[in-house]
């Protein structure tokens, strides 16, 4: 899989809106897994739009998980060089890339307790909040659920 979903749009690095939309690992995987005929085009088009609009955000955790899955766990894995190129594309295309801080870890622990989320989902929600995202695109949480200012949206929800 190539970085074709990272868009060659005219906006590139430009931020055209204050809206930020955070993307979870599963959406990135579907964008690069052409074997899923239903989810692949939806995920690819979402990433293209976020890149063109300059509103996309991911965390280091998401990128780490994505590399692990697309180089080892999909039917047609990417080479390490391909994965590195696509990972660099997120940065060069102007995506916000969130790195967790100690305070984020503490907040994720509190979120686990309050909402009964998994550790990893708590970290993702906190990263979306840190990014200033209004939307967290994922299929791992309940569509429409809100965590503070972040609303969960499943791009594959019927």
Domain residue ranges in the chain: 18-153
Tokens of 95: 């995506």
Q: CATH 3.40.50.1010: does it fit domain 18-153?
A: yes
Continuous H helices in 54-138:
60-72, 80-92, 102-115, 119-131
Q: What is the mean pLDDT of residues 5-23?
A: 56
Whether pLDDT at 3 is above 80: no
User: What's the confidence (pLDDT) of residue 17?
Assistant: 46
Element housing 76 (H / E): none
Say whether pLDDT at 70 is over 90: yes
Cβ 124 vs Cβ 24: under 8 Å: yes
Q: What is the predicted pLDDT for the residue at 9?
A: 34
pLDDT tens for residues 29-52?
999 998 999 999 999 999 999 999
**CA end-to-end span of the chain:** 26
Q: Which two tokens stand for residue 54?
A: 């300059």
pLDDT digits (tens, 9 = 90+) for 80-134: 999 999 999 999 999 999 999 999 999 999 999 999 999 999 999 999 999 999 9
Whole-prediction pTM: 0.88
The alpha carbon of 86 is separated from its chain's Cα centroid by a whole number of angstroms, namely: 13
Give the mean pLDDT of the chain. Answer: 90
Which tokens is 139 given? 């299929």
């Amino acid at each position: 899989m190539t970085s074709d979903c990272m868009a060659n749009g005219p906006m590139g690095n430009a931020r055209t809106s204050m809206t930020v939309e955070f993307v979870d690992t599963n959406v990135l995987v579907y964008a690069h897994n052409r074997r899923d005929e239903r989810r692949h085009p939806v995920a690819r088009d979402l990433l293209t739009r976020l890149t063109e609009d300059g509103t996309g955000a991911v965390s280091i955790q998401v990128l780490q998980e994505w590399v692990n899955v697309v180089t080892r766990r999909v039917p047609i894995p990417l080479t390490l060089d391909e994965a590195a190129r696509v990972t660099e594309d997120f940065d060069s295309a102007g995506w916000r890339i969130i790195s967790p801080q100690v305070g984020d870890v503490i907040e994720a622990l509190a979120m686990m307790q309050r909402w009964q989320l998994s550790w990893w989902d708590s970290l993702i929600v906190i990263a979306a909040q840190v990014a200033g995202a209004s939307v967290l695109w994922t299929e791992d949480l309940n569509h429409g659920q809100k965590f503070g200012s972040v609303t969960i949206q499943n791009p594959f929800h019927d």
